[in-house]
Amino acid sequence: MWRFELLAQDGKSRARRGRIQTAHGVVETPVFMPVGTQGTIKSLSPDEVRSLGAQIILGNTYHLSLRPGAERIARLGGLHAFMAWPGPILTDSGGFQVFSLATIRRIDEDGVTFQSHIDGSRHRITPERCMEIQELLGSDIAMCFDECTPYPVTREYARASMERTIRWAQRCRNAWKRRDQALFAIVQGGVFADLRLECAEALKAMDFPGYAVGSLAVGEPKEILLEVLDTVVPELPVDKPRYLMGVGMPEDLIEGVRRGIDMFDCVVPTRNARNGMLFTSWGAVQIKNSRYTDDPRPIEPGCSCYTCRKFSRAYLRHLFMARELLAYRLNSIHNLHYFLRLMEAVREAVEQGRFEAFREDFYRRRREGEPIDD
Amino acid sequence: MWRFELLAQDGKSRARRGRIQTAHGVVETPVFMPVGTQGTIKSLSPDEVRSLGAQIILGNTYHLSLRPGAERIARLGGLHAFMAWPGPILTDSGGFQVFSLATIRRIDEDGVTFQSHIDGSRHRITPERCMEIQELLGSDIAMCFDECTPYPVTREYARASMERTIRWAQRCRNAWKRRDQALFAIVQGGVFADLRLECAEALKAMDFPGYAVGSLAVGEPKEILLEVLDTVVPELPVDKPRYLMGVGMPEDLIEGVRRGIDMFDCVVPTRNARNGMLFTSWGAVQIKNSRYTDDPRPIEPGCSCYTCRKFSRAYLRHLFMARELLAYRLNSIHNLHYFLRLMEAVREAVEQGRFEAFREDFYRRRREGEPIDD
């Protein structure tokens, strides 16, 4: 059922074009995965998400296991049926959220004890329980439970954390049962290139169906992320998909693809939409800006999304200022459309061996800014 | 352009079946009009509202004139273009909101001075300005500016207020310019049958395209509403549409139709949806109730709305408890579908002369409660 094919490679960069076959359908890579934290891409119906061109979405193991609960979702037919999303789903391991949202009570070799950010209730997650939860959710791609290395951190801590992540990955691999579910390992090691490499080597030896580069913590400079990718990606198996977790802005996707990444996820398009920040080829539109009060144009002239075909900046600003629910939805439609179209264009450029020219054009449009009307 | 046809009358009640032709299309009556207070039916796209079967929607003159402003909407092509709703629109006069939401500074013969509930800014509305605003919005049906009689109130105040409403209706009629816009008068007089009758007589003499029964204030017993309708409706012209403002619950629509009302509007289906109260033929489902935590059934088995076709009560409860934006939307879809299908069934029953049997069946299903599964 699971299969990854490498279809093309760009001549001048590490960018690559691939195809993943999952139990719930095909995913063309490089791909951006919208985030459906609590069993919904916020404000959008699954049909809308599908028609925007999303191929695969991400569900958050941490959130779903706390509410409504993995056993409950399994009884209700699994996450695909529960949220009426028929396509592929990737679930994260919950590691990142346990370390960023919950109150940690104890980290030991066996696992993590934490308190829920919702009601303070106490929970314990181990690599084995993490696998069990993801099996109950029934995602197409599961992630190994990892300790998300904090930043900044000492080299000693980063090493200990990375080594534990390797041991946990082995335990996840041992506990892995569902053969309709692929299991990805996560390369950790923080900002230390040699630790990342060591981690990649160890995980490669365990032969996982895919490999992720673990999220760098909030506040970490972007140059470090690119350096990590420059170091780690060449060491990952060529014939397995590579996933950069929790990234990012449009330029981060471009730079990730250029360094050989196949998969991305991020809350940026939907969260920023709800904050009134809209993406266009020339940069961001802050819809609450008073310059849009009487602007009859769509967010991005020429954009084919529902929002741009039907509504003016003036209307979208009005909805946003009036805190109307439709604002969050129309903004989310536009932003997701932008991200998904961007990745479609990336795939085409890689296929045609013109990714570097595409990338230059991407930055040129940013520099030139919004085209001036006649 | 404007035309009202009476197509059928029920033999055993005052229920009637009609058709209104407006500049933006046909409306089959009796009709329920979803409320789009600020230029949007909360959480729903105009295409969704259309596909739910809404024929005509209501826009709130008070809200739209304060934000984003009537002149601005006119510059942007009028309310239809602004909110991308191609069908008929009725705008209320703003009277009810001025008296219920704003801080009144002064009521005099000429008009009302009030402070905005949004930013405290001072505004003045007169019958002439009310007409101007509705012309700028470009609605298909405009309402005369009225003083909404408070409750409880002395007979003396109710008389003075009703007489002023008549004088203001005459001024609205004099100021009425757009011939693609119908103008409805509003019968006031509070709970006093003789005052209501006197008002109806005076307004009938002015020959308006349609007549409304002014909303009774919050807190007024329902029996009084029905008595008012029993008194007033028979005195209204047979060949003009009759609109009961701001009403109501499903049973109120049934009772209004029975007493000869053709048009209704209310925030109940959408507001209650956002509060987790879902309408079904056997009564209300409070989706946050823990009995639905593991319930795999749709809100109402057999319901053909998008929400019921795709999602379980367990999922809808999860979304609602997690305060997910999709909850408000899926709940609104179901409730509006319920109201619009109910009115479709009402129209069919009146056409076929079996409205009384339909009404009995409506109450019987309520009494029997939710059908028990095998």
Q: pLDDT digits over B149-162, tens only?
A: 777 889 999 999 99
**B278 has a pLDDT exceeding 70:** yes
Residue B92 a catalytic site member: yes
pLDDT for A124 equals 95
- C-alpha distances in Å from residue A144, one per residue of A2, A22, A103, A175: 17, 18, 21, 10
Q: Which residues of A are less than 8 Å from B325 in CB distance?
A: 42-43, 325, 328-329
Q: Do A84 and B310 touch (CB under 8 A)?
A: yes
Q: Which of A45, A72, A271, A321 to mutate to test the interface with B (most CBs of B within 10 A)?
A: A45
Q: Do A38 and B318 touch (CB under 8 A)?
A: yes
pLDDT for A95 equals 86
Please report which confidence band the pLDDT of residue B219 belongs to, taking 50, 70 and 90 as the band edges: low
pLDDT for B1 equals 81
Instruction: Tell me what the mean pLDDT of segment B241-245 comes to.
Output: 97
Catalytic hit among B140, B146, B252, B265: B265
**B297 has a pLDDT exceeding 90:** yes
Whole-number mean pLDDT of chain B? 95
Q: Which residues of B are less than 8 Å from A39 in CB distance?
A: 315, 318-319
Q: Which residues pair with A284 in a beta bridge?
A: A279
Q: What chain A residue is nearest to B40 in terms of C-alpha separation?
A: A326
Q: Do A325 and B328 touch (CB under 8 A)?
A: yes
Instruction: Phi first, then psi: give them for residue A371, nearest 5 degrees.
Output: -60, 145
pLDDT for A217 equals 60
- Amino acid identity of residue A51, one-letter, is S
CA atoms in the 13 A half-sphere facing the CB of A6: 15
Overall pTM surpassing 0.90 (yes/no): yes
Find the chain B residues whose C-beta atoms sit closer than 8 A to any C-beta of A. 38-40, 42-47, 67-68, 72, 75-77, 82-84, 293-294, 296, 306, 310-312, 314-315, 317-319, 321-322, 324-326, 328-330
Q: Which residues of A are less than 8 Å from B321 in CB distance?
A: 67-68
For residue A283, the distance in angstroms to the closest alpha carbon of chain B comes to 25
| Spatial separation of the C-alpha atoms in residues A211 and B275, rounded to whole Å | 44
Q: Which residues of B are less than 8 Å from A76 in CB distance?
A: 294, 296, 312, 314-315
Q: What chain A residue is nearest to B315 in terms of C-alpha separation?
A: A82
Tell me chain A's radius of gyration from C-alpha atoms: 21
Q: Do A329 and B325 touch (CB under 8 A)?
A: yes
**Closest partner CB to A310 (pick from B76, B84, B325):** B84
Q: Do B84 and A311 touch (CB under 8 A)?
A: yes
Percent of chain B residues topping a pLDDT of 90? 89
ipTM value greater than 0.95 = yes
State how beta strands A89-91 and B122-125 pair.
unpaired
Q: Do B82 and A312 touch (CB under 8 A)?
A: yes
Q: Which residues of A are less than 8 Å from B320 in CB distance?
A: none
For residue A168, the distance in angstroms to the closest alpha carbon of chain B comes to 31
**A69 has a pLDDT exceeding 60:** yes
| Spatial separation of the C-alpha atoms in residues A312 and B92, rounded to whole Å | 25
pLDDT for A373 equals 67
Q: Which of B323, B325, B333 to mutate to test the interface with A (most CBs of A within 10 A)?
A: B325
pLDDT for A152 equals 84
- C-alpha distances in Å from residue A73, one per residue of A274, B43, B314, B318, B319: 27, 26, 9, 10, 13
Q: Do A76 and B296 touch (CB under 8 A)?
A: yes
Q: Do A68 and B318 touch (CB under 8 A)?
A: yes
**A367 has a pLDDT exceeding 70:** yes
CA atoms in the 13 A half-sphere facing the CB of B149: 31
Q: Which of B35, B42, B45 to mutate to test the interface with A (most CBs of A within 10 A)?
A: B45
Q: Do A314 and B46 touch (CB under 8 A)?
A: no
Instruction: Tell me what the mean pLDDT of segment B203-223 comes to.
Output: 86
pLDDT tens by residue, A7-31:
999 999 999 999 999 999 999 999 9
Say which residue, B357 or B106, is predicted with more confidence.
B357
**A319 has a pLDDT exceeding 80:** yes
Instruction: Tell me what the mean pLDDT of segment B81-94 comes to.
Output: 97
Instruction: Tell me what the mean pLDDT of segment A187-199 comes to.
Output: 93
Find the chain A residues whose C-beta atoms sit closer than 8 A to any C-beta of B. 38-40, 42-46, 67-68, 72, 75-77, 82-84, 293-294, 296, 306, 310-312, 314-315, 317-319, 321-322, 324-326, 328-330
For residue A298, the distance in angstroms to the closest alpha carbon of chain B comes to 12
- The alpha helices in A294-354, defined as continuous H runs, are 306-310, 313-321, 325-351
Please report which confidence band the pLDDT of residue A372 belongs to, taking 50, 70 and 90 as the band edges: confident
pLDDT for B148 equals 83
Place of tokens 């997910």: B324
**B374 has a pLDDT exceeding 60:** no
- C-alpha distances in Å from residue A190, one per residue of A224, A251, A282, B40: 10, 22, 33, 47
**Closest partner CB to B325 (pick from A83, A314, A325):** A325
**A76 has a pLDDT exceeding 60:** yes
For residue A274, the distance in angstroms to the closest alpha carbon of chain B comes to 11
Percent of chain B residues topping a pLDDT of 70? 98
pLDDT tens by residue, A236-288:
999 999 999 999 999 999 999 999 999 999 999 999 999 999 999 999 999 99
Instruction: Tell me what the mean pLDDT of segment B17-38 comes to.
Output: 98
pLDDT tens by residue, B29-77:
999 999 999 999 999 999 999 999 999 999 999 999 999 999 999 999 9
Whole-number mean pLDDT of chain A? 95
Domains of chain B, earliest start first: 3-266 (3.20.20.105), 274-365 (no CATH)
Packing angle between helix A222-232 and helix A250-258, nearest 10 degrees?
20
Question: Per mean pLDDT, which range of A135-139, A142-146, A214-218, B51-55 is the poorest?
Answer: A214-218
Three-state SS letters, chain B? CCEEEEEEECCCCCCEEEEEEECCEEEEECEEEEEECCCCCCCCCHHHHHHCCCCCEEECHHHHHHCCCHHHHHHCCCHHHHHCCCCCEEECCCHHHHHHCCEEEEECCCCEEEECCCCCCEEEECHHHHHHHHHHHCCCEEECCCCCCCCCCCHHHHHHHHHHHHHHHHHHHHHCCCCCCEEEEEECCCCCHHHHHHHHHHHHHCCCCEEEECCCCCCCCHHHHHHHHHHHHHHCCCCCCEEECCCCCHHHHHHHHHCCCCEEEECHHHHHHHCCEEEECCEEEECCCHHHCCCCCCCCCCCCCHHHHHCCHHHHHHHHHCCCHHHHHHHHHHHHHHHHHHHHHHHHHHHCCCHHHHHHHHHHHHHHCCCCCC
Catalytic hit among B10, B92, B140, B146: B92
pLDDT tens by residue, B302-347:
999 999 999 999 999 999 999 999 999 999 999 999 999 999 999 9
Concatenating the DSSP letter of every residue in A204-250 gives: HHT--SEEEEPPPPTT--HHHHHHHHHHHGGGS-TTS-EEETT--SH
Q: Which residues of B are less than 8 Å from A296 in CB distance?
A: 76-77
Q: How far is CA B75 from the centre of its chain?
A: 27
Q: What chain B residue is nearest to A330 in terms of C-alpha separation?
A: B45
